[in-house]
Amino acid sequence: MKIAVLGASGQLGGEICRQWGDDAVPLDIDKLDITQRTAVRRTLTDLRPRAVINCAAYTQVDAAESDRGRCRTINALAVEHLADVCSQLDCPLVQISTDYVFGGYRQQPVPYREEEPPQPRGVYAQTKLEGERAAARHAKHLIVRTCGLYARAGDKLARNFVKTILRLGGRGRPLKIVNDQTCTPSFVPHVARAVLWLAGANGNGPAPWGIYHVTNRGETTWYEFARAIIRHSGIEASIEPITTAEYGTAAPRPAYSVLDTTKYHATGGPEMPDWNDALAEFFAEASLSRRSNGSAKRGRSRSKGGA
What is the number of other CB atoms lying within 10 angstroms of the CB of residue 65?
Answer: 16
- Please give the average per-residue pLDDT across 115-121, as a whole number: 96
pLDDT higher than 50, residue 148: yes
**CA 84 – CA 106 distance, rounded (Å):** 36
**What's the confidence (pLDDT) of residue 293?**
56
* Segments forming the whole domain that contains residue 243: 3-291
Which residues lie below 8 Å from residue 56, measured CB to CB, with a gap of 6+? Answer: 6, 7, 10, 13, 28, 29, 34, 74, 78
In the chain, how many domains are there?
A: 1
The residue type at 54? N
Task: Determine contact, residues 36/79, Cβ cutoff 8 Å.
Answer: no
pTM for the complete prediction? 0.93
**What's the confidence (pLDDT) of residue 290?**
65
State phi, psi for 43 to the nearest 5 degrees.
Answer: -65, -50
Lowest mean pLDDT of 59-73, 128-142, 192-206, 246-260, name the range: 192-206
DSSP result, 256-305? B--B--HHHHTTTPPP--BHHHHHHHHHHHHHHHHHHHHHHHHHHHHHHH
**CA 169 – CA 240 distance, rounded (Å):** 12
Catalytic annotation, residues: 124
Instruction: Specify the DSSP element, H or E, that contains 244.
Output: helix 244-247
Task: Determine contact, residues 255/197, Cβ cutoff 8 Å.
Answer: no
The residue type at 123? V
Q: Is residue 48 part of a domain?
A: yes
Determine whether 167 is exposed, middle or buried from the number of CB atoms within 10 Å of its CB (0-12, 13-18, 19+). exposed
The pLDDT tens digits of the residues spanning 281-301 come to 999 998 865 655 554 454 554
Q: Is residue 298 part of a domain?
A: no
Determine whether 21 is exposed, middle or buried from the number of CB atoms within 10 Å of its CB (0-12, 13-18, 19+). exposed
Q: Is residue 70 part of a domain?
A: yes
Q: Is residue 300 part of a domain?
A: no
Q: Is residue 260 part of a domain?
A: yes
Q: Is residue 307 part of a domain?
A: no
Scanning 109-160, the segments in alpha helix (DSSP H) are 123-135
**CA 290 – CA 127 distance, rounded (Å):** 40
CA angle 91, 92, 98 (to 5 degrees): 145
Q: Is residue 246 part of a domain?
A: yes
- Please give the average per-residue pLDDT across 154-183, as a whole number: 93
CATH of the domain at 247: 3.40.50.720
- Please give the average per-residue pLDDT across 254-273, as a whole number: 97
pLDDT higher than 50, residue 38: yes
Among left, alpha and beta (phi > 0; psi -120 to 50; other), residue 232 is alpha
pLDDT higher than 90, residue 137: yes
**What's the confidence (pLDDT) of residue 305?**
42
Greatest CA span in the chain, whole angstroms? 71
Closest by CA position to 258, among listed 291, 301, 215 = 215
Q: Is residue 22 part of a domain?
A: yes
**What's the confidence (pLDDT) of residue 31?**
94
- 307 band by pLDDT with thresholds 50, 70 and 90: very low
**CA 8 – CA 51 distance, rounded (Å):** 14
**CA 122 – CA 208 distance, rounded (Å):** 30
**What's the confidence (pLDDT) of residue 303?**
44
**CA 130 – CA 136 distance, rounded (Å):** 10
- Please give the average per-residue pLDDT across 207-231, as a whole number: 98
Task: Determine contact, residues 139/84, Cβ cutoff 8 Å.
Answer: no
pLDDT higher than 70, residue 131: yes
